[in-house]
Structure 1
């Protein structure tokens, strides 16, 4: 009887201890950190040089090289030079006046000529590929004819011609524009411009 009571008491104690002991739970995994937002990619800086618009008042002249495009008519398109007589020889049309005309006026002249018996609604585009050369004389190391480049100044022209001679007047310059009969005396500054077809003369200084 005593043994049964001891067993019952021991069982009661075990049950009491089991009821009060904390139940161990498996630890929940820590929530995953949200993925970091991707940094926006910056566009690579453009390396293309801005286009330089052509002077709308620029007049074509002997030595200019032009591209003429007749849309839808590749056999009538191409690259042509303005001749010494101021004409451009075009397919189908023959010689067309160009000297003294702006690029737009020349373009309209070609369109009119094509419309007169050749095409119903011609669309023509014209642009200058190479400008006529300039000429430099006088007190420079290598006088002569040189290709024109956009934005050319007298100082650039002198450098192209090998620089000044020791007798050169570096304060004055004489420029004869295309189509003019006389040269004009100008102050020689870093910004003195040369136009296509100009004749530049560097005078001699007085000691």
Structure 2
């Protein structure tokens, strides 16, 4: 290789490294609404399985799953919109519908029997879909997915989350809380 070409190759190599480093800083930090979603009451969505209890009505008490359209199908009253609802709001909606000609004073309670899963991708041992547990952090999700690969960035992760019917992605620390339905992506570290 000629001496004249070495500086040119060094310049190209440095330019490539500068582009790579600037690409790292091109991430979007998690917006404020993203973090606030973790402290809000739980909002139902497709895939959640609910244990609905109607006091003294064994035929109505059962487990029901929120379908892909965001509805729960119950006996007598049919489809009830559940997507985006909190548990108390859905309890009130079901009680009001049962009160319309079916029961005099229905007492409805709902618990989440199984949360929708979280998805862990990127530089982890076993990428895939995993059960969500309340209080889960990104680090817990990565551990369940087989831990970091040797190339995995262990400082922060990218989380994609639905907030107010809008899908947002933000970079957060591995200690950040995870919500049901989140997608956690572990990037490859540079060095």
For Structure 1 versus Structure 2, the TM-score category normalised by the shorter chain is 0.7 to 0.9
Is 1:94 the equivalent of 2:78?
yes
Greater share of residues in strand: 2
Output the CA distance in 2 between the equivalents of 1:56 and 1:168: 30
3-state SS, counterpart of residue 177 of structure 1: strand
Match of 1:181 among 167, 180, 187: 167
RMSD (Å) for aligned C-alpha atoms:
1.5
Output the CA distance in 1 between the equivalents of 2:129 and 2:142: 12
Match of 1:57 among 28, 31, 41: 41
Partner of 1:131: 115
| Alignment map for 1:18-33 (pairs within 5 Å) | none
3-state SS, counterpart of residue 166 of structure 2: coil
Bigger Rg, which one? 1
Greater share of residues in helix: 2
Deviation for aligned residue 1:56: 7.6
Is the 8 Å Cα contact of residues 137 and 143 (structure 1) preserved in structure 2? Answer: yes
Partner of 1:103: 87
* Structure 2 residues not aligned, in runs of 5+: 1-38
Classify 1:137/1:128 alpha carbon distance in 2 versus 1 (closer, same or farther; 3 Å): same
Q: Which runs of 4+ in 1 moved over 4 A?
A: none
Output the CA distance in 1 between the equivalents of 2:40 and 2:91: 12
Output the CA distance in 2 between the equivalents of 1:193 and 1:60: 17
Output the CA distance in 2 between the equivalents of 1:74 and 1:187: 46
* Structure 1 residues not aligned, in runs of 5+: 1-54
3-state SS, counterpart of residue 56 of structure 2: coil
Match of 1:71 among 31, 51, 55: 55
